Structure 1
Amino acid sequence: MFDIGFDEMLLVAIVAIVVIGPKDLPMALRTVGRWVAKVRRVSGHFRAGVENMIREAELEEMEKKWREQNAAILAAHPDPGPDAEARAAAAAAEGDAAMLPLTPADKPASTDDATPELPLAPSR
């Protein structure tokens, strides 16, 4: 990370012994260790907070995209029946709006029974 070699570490140790003294060196190293641990904890919390904000922004973006897609789908397929609004409100209250099956009475009448509404393969 810092690319500190053996020579540099030896020089730092000699300077620390001369400046701090051999008697106070263990206490100084403990203090430095505590500060390093505190900095790592703070940086970990900061990193987790930033990742959480990024994740929330991505979720909001996906929810916006889903709302737009749902609006487009609802605009393309009008109200399927008289009780559809009540069923949609009940499903929204339960959180299962996408899981409601249409009953035969709710399905729109097709004009041509031989032609499917959504072709599975392109016609040639």
Structure 2
Amino acid sequence: MKEPVIICEGPLDADVFESIQAAVRYIEPVDVADGIFTGYDSEGRLLEIFLTDPTKPLYGRDINITIKDAEKVPSHQGELICVLRHFLKSVQKKPVSDKQVDAMSLAELVDEALKYKTD
């Protein structure tokens, strides 16, 4: 897995995290249990997001979330490119135009999206 990671709630609602640890601290176990997240690493590798111990309460301060590779070879680059293009086009104060976003490679999209990371 190559950081940063992108966690999506729905098809185009994304949060960009500098690290797995930042993502785990931010997302809520109840949402993980509901299966609402899709995750990608920066190379387009699908990530598996699950409760480490499903018997633990879904609310509280215990971190009970694991994020790991769901595939060895990245095969979701196209999906991630669509997510990141939508994400960057929806940023309020855009430093780049929509046309520039459409021309960016996956690596460039990830670098640009990281400027708007979730802490």
User: What's the TM-score bracket when you normalise by the shorter of the two chains?
Assistant: under 0.3
Q: Which has the higher helix share?
A: 1
Which structure has the highest strand share of the two?
2
TM-score normalized by structure 2?
0.21
Greater gyration radius: 1
Which structure ranks higher in relative contact order (CA pairs < 8 Å, sequence separation ≥ 6)?
2
